Amino acid sequence: MKAAEGMFDESVVFVTKQGTQVRTDGGRIVVWDVDGDDGELASYPTEKLDTINVFGGVNFSTPFVAEANEHGIVLNYFTQNGQYRGSFVPERNTIAEVRRAQYALSEQDELEIAKAMIAGKIRNARTLLSRKGVHGTDVLKDLGVRAENASSKDDLRGTEGEAAERYFDRLDETLTDGWTFEKRTKRPPEDHINSLLSLTYVMVKNEVLSGLRQYNLDPFLGVLHADRHGRPSLALDLQEEFRPLFCDSLVTRLVNRGVITHDDFTADNHLADDPFKTYLSKFDEYMQEEFVHPHFDYSVSRRKAIRQQVILLRKAITDEMDSYHALTFSR
């Protein structure tokens, strides 16, 4: 069997060059250097794209926005160093029936989906550690079983917290000399590794968010993360199973291979401008990299695998499937 011909892999575009404008030109989307003299920097067939991410001083022409609306292209706005600001969502990306099914989920339905996601995350955390030669992760195995049997969301959150703590305790062992990971810090990240982890979580969260929008789910209504104004809870929920193998593994790869060094960071632990561009291109490459799907037995890119999980989540929500099946790797 082979994967369905999708448009996922080249469907996401990142625009980081400042002073550019995204326009339409005869069925193509063009990035134009407005402030400089370089003219057309890149162009893409409109039919193929579903997401455009812009960072900082990039603007969209009005005819382009109309075109994006027409073709169901989601536009996400970020600050120059990758902080999410908001989105333009095409009007057709709202199927009332999908929303209705999502809003009608019972507490028990939500718990079942969340259990699959968290158990998947714990399974994948063990797999990442074992791939890196870190052994003695039986505690995580037990916590995985506990997640599968959780009786309430609070119970599940407790198990998830404990598993995260155990996992991050061992993550240091996966890093090359000169890098250490002591503990996970978020606001603000207190060291370079934490900064890279936070950035990567934001980037993958955005992949998940675009996928949820593309398939008409409401990213702000979660199954496990508490609803909070402005927080895309469902994206955060679905992101859980991808954290170890699609996020942490990219970070360890970038530092272990010397792609990112300590010199690439500013005093407040942010990547400097050029290293940030390097990071984005490495991230995009990583999303397009293929692996053999553990359940379907064909090669898919990480980006496509994430979109497929969005579709499987929608199927679980709309009762097309009996349960949600997380993406798990057992080795």
- Applying CB under 8 A, the residues found at the interface with another protein are 1, 4-6, 47, 71-72, 92-95, 97-98, 215-216, 295-296, 308, 311-312, 315, 319-323, 325
Cβ distance to another protein smaller for residue 43 or 93: 93
> CB under 8 Å to 18, separation ≥6 — which residues?
35, 56, 57, 58, 80
**Residue 297, Ramachandran bin (φ over 0: left; ψ between -120 and 50: alpha; else beta):** left
> What is the nearest approach in angstroms of another protein to the Cβ of residue 94?
8
Please state the φ and ψ torsions of residue 68, each to the nearest 5 degrees. -60, -40
Cβ distance to another protein smaller for residue 274 or 322: 322
Cβ distance to another protein smaller for residue 68 or 197: 68
> What is the nearest approach in angstroms of another protein to the Cβ of residue 317?
13
| The residue to which tokens 């530092």 are assigned | 255
| The residue to which tokens 């990219």 are assigned | 250
Nearest to 98 by CA among 208, 239, 242, 234: 234
Edge-to-edge strand order for the sheet containing 58-60?
A: 39-45, 28-33, 20-25, 58-60
Cβ distance to another protein smaller for residue 1 or 267: 1
User: Which whole-number Å values give the CA distances from 53 to 20, 85, 243, 264, in the listed order?
Assistant: 13, 11, 21, 23
> What is the nearest approach in angstroms of another protein to the Cβ of residue 46?
11
Rounded CA-CA distance 237/147 in Å is 14
Cβ distance to another protein smaller for residue 41 or 292: 292
> What is the nearest approach in angstroms of another protein to the Cβ of residue 153?
24
Please list the residues that pair with 39 across neighbouring strands. Answer: 33
Q: Which two tokens stand for residue 143?
A: 């916590």
Cβ distance to another protein smaller for residue 56 or 72: 72
> What is the nearest approach in angstroms of another protein to the Cβ of residue 215?
7
> What is the nearest approach in angstroms of another protein to the Cβ of residue 322?
6
